[in-house]
Amino acid sequence: METVLFILFGAIAVCGAIMVVTRKHPMASALYLILTLFAVAALFVLRQAHFLAAIQVIIYAGAVVVLFIFVIMLINVPEDRLPVERATTMRVLGVLAAGFFILESAVLARRFWMPIGPVAEVGTVEAVGRALFTDYLLAFEITSVLLLAAVIGAIALAKRKI
């Protein structure tokens, strides 16, 4: 059952990702991105990483893509003036490099094949919570300073004049 679901959601994620990079209109790409992110969240659930799955949905599918969409709406390029993608040298090289990388990963995966062990209970919300508030407490608190700097930076840069 798990294998079936893995293949199903994996396929959805990969197809969504391909659609993201091949759509002409950026809005369509952004919507397919949501699909991909949801499918990845499902994969996280299958590996018992519940907290990660929740974060994936709340922050990535929820907030980050919303930001993407606002930027697309803000820039608002009319359909007939969307840039036409051409197969430039860089793009061809990029595709070649990506292909090479996939090939390499496949070889690596075969070479260092490890059976998937029993899923450890490290990704549940409770386990993450316990780690976050004991061993990784400092990291948690420092995150608040980072977020503070980010919020002030976001507002300051959006102002007409600092």
Partner 1 sequence: MLVEYATVLVFIVLGAVTVALMLGLQRWFAPSAPSAVKLSTYECGEVPYGSSWVQFNIRFYVVALIFIIFDVEVALLYPWAVVFQRLGFLAFIEAFIFIVILLAGLAYLWKEGDLEWVRTLQDTPAKKGAK
Partner 2 sequence: MFLGNLASLRYFLPEFAVTATILLLVVLHVVTKSPRSTASGFLSLLGVGAAIFLAGVAPAGAGRSIFEGMVAHDGFAVFFKVLTALATLVVIFMSMDSRDLAGRSQAEYYIFLLSTLLGMFLLSSATDIVMLYLALELVSIPSYLLAGYLKGQERSTEAAMKYVVYGATASGVMIYGFSILFGLTGSTQVAEIGRSLAAGKATLPMLLASVMVAVGFGYKIAAVPFHMWSPDVYEGAPTPATAFFSVGPKAAGFAVLVRFYYTVFAAADPGTGLWRLTSAVDWPFLFAALSALTMTVGNLVAVKQSNVKRLLAYSSIAHAGYMLMGFVLLSSAGIEAILFYLVVYLFMNLGAFYVVVLVSNATRGEEISDFTGLGSRAPFAAVALSIFLFALTGIPPFSGFIGKVYLFAEVIHRGVYWLAVVAALNSVVSLYYYTRIVRAMFFEEPKDASAIPVPAVSGALLVLLVAPTLILGVYWEPVARIAADSVRMLAF
Q: Residue 143 corresponds to which tokens in the numbers above?
A: 């995150």
Can you tell me whether residue 78 is helix, strand or coil?
A: coil
By CB under 8 A, name the one of 28, 67, 95, 106 that touches partner 1: 67
Token pair belonging to 150: 């980010």
Q: Does 160 bind partner 1 (CB under 8 A)?
A: yes
Total residues interacting with partner 2, rule: CB under 8 A: 23
Q: Is 94 in the site for partner 2 (CB under 8 A)?
A: no
Which residue intervals of the chain are DSSP H helices? 2-22, 26-46, 50-55, 65-75, 89-111, 125-133, 137-158
Is position 2 an interface residue for partner 1 (rule: CB under 8 A)? yes
Between 94 and 129, CB nearer to partner 1? 129
Pick the closer one to partner 2 by CB: 96 or 137: 137
Minimum CB separation of residue 125 from partner 1 in Å reads 5
